[in-house]
C-alpha cells in the first residue's frame, strides 16, 4: 500500500511540474487586422495546438497548429489562422506544448476595432538593431498605450544572420509581441538573410 501511495504521489508531482517550452508568441495577419489574423509561436514539439474563444470556455474549439521550420536546430514555428474575428473583442486562448504535454496558462488578445470606426490608434517603431534594453523600454511603453496595430519599420537585428540575434530580439520585446498585432517591414539590416526574416512573420504581401 505504501509503495502504491508513493508511486501515485510521484505521478501527480511529475504532472504538475512539467514546464511548457512554448515561447516567442507573436501576432500577425495575412490580410486586414480582422481577416487572416494569425498567432505564431516557437517550440520543440511536433503537434502543438490551440484552444480559443470569446469566453474562458474556449467555445470556438481546439485546433492544430501548422508546423514549419524555425531558425534554430530542433525548434519549430507553429501557426494558427483565425477565421474572421469580431472587432473590439477579447480572445481567450491557451497553447498546447506537445513536447512537455502541458498547456500554457490562459492568455488574452484584443482584436482590432471595427473598420468603420473613425477613431483608432497605431504605433510605429523599429531600427532597434543591437540595443535590446532600449527596445524593451520602448516596446513596453507601446504596449501600455494599446494601439490597434503597430508598424515595425525593420532592422530588428544588426545583421539578421544568426539565431542568437533573433533570440535577443524576441526576449527583449516578448511582452510587446505577445499582446500586439504587428506588421513588419524588412529593413536593410534584415535583408542579409531575407528567407530567415520572411519565415518569422505572417504579413500581407503586395507586389512581391
Residues 127-147 have pLDDT tens digits of 999 999 999 999 999 999 999
Cα–Cα distance, 55 to 61 (Å, whole number)? 11
Nearest alpha-carbon partner for 104 in 169, 63, 48:
48
Percent of all residues in the chain with a pLDDT value above 90, rounded to a whole number: 76
pLDDT score at 206? 76
Q: For residue 183, what is the enclosing H or E element?
A: strand 182-184
| Residue 38: pLDDT over 50 | yes
Instruction: Collapse the DSSP code of 53 into the 3-class scheme (helix H, G, I; strand E, B; otherwise coil) and give the result.
Output: strand
Query: Which strands, in side-by-side order, build the sheet including 76-81?
Result: 23-29, 37-43, 76-81, 66-69
The pLDDT-based confidence of 19 (bands split at 50, 70, 90) is very low
- The secondary structure of 90-148 as a DSSP string is EEEEEEEETTTTEEPPPEEEEPPPPTT-S---EEEE---TT-HHHHHHHHHHHHHH--S
pLDDT score at 15? 38
The pLDDT-based confidence of 82 (bands split at 50, 70, 90) is very high
Q: What is the mean pLDDT of the chain?
A: 89
| Residue 123: pLDDT over 80 | yes
Q: Could you tell me if 150 and 123 are in contact, meaning their C-beta atoms sit under 8 angstroms apart? A: yes
* Mean pLDDT on 66-80: 95
| Residue 6: pLDDT over 50 | no
- State whether the Cα torsion 18-21-27-30 is positive or negative: negative
pLDDT score at 70? 95
The pLDDT-based confidence of 113 (bands split at 50, 70, 90) is very high
| Residue 1: pLDDT over 60 | no
Cα–Cα distance, 64 to 66 (Å, whole number)? 7
pLDDT score at 31? 87
Amino acid at each position: 500500500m505504501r509503495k502504491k501511495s508513493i508511486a501515485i504521489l510521484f505521478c501527480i508531482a511529475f504532472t504538475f511540474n512539467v514546464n511548457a517550452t512554448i515561447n516567442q508568441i507573436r501576432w500577425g495577419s495575412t490580410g486586414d487586422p480582422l481577416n487572416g489574423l494569425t498567432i505564431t509561436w516557437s517550440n520543440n514539439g511536433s503537434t502543438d495546438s490551440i484552444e480559443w474563444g470569446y469566453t474562458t470556455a474556449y467555445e470556438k474549439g481546439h485546433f492544430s497548429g501548422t508546423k514549419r521550420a524555425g531558425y534554430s536546430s530542433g525548434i519549430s514555428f507553429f501557426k494558427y489562422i483565425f477565421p474572421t474575428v469580431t472587432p473590439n473583442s477579447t480572445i481567450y486562448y491557451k497553447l498546447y506544448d506537445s513536447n512537455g504535454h502541458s498547456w500554457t496558462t490562459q492568455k488574452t488578445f484584443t482584436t482590432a476595432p471595427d473598420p468603420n470606426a473613425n477613431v483608432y490608434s497605431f504605433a510605429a517603431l523599429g531600427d532597434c538593431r543591437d540595443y535590446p534594453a532600449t527596445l524593451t523600454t520602448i516596446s513596453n511603453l507601446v504596449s501600455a498605450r494599446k494601439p490597434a496595430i503597430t508598424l515595425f519599420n525593420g532592422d530588428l537585428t544588426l545583421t539578421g544572420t544568426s539565431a542568437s540575434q533573433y533570440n535577443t530580439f524576441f526576449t527583449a520585446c516578448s511582452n510587446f509581441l505577445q499582446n500586439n498585432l504587428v506588421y513588419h517591414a524588412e529593413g536593410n539590416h534584415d535583408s542579409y538573410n531575407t528567407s530567415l526574416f520572411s519565415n518569422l512573420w505572417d504579413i500581407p504581401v503586395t507586389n512581391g
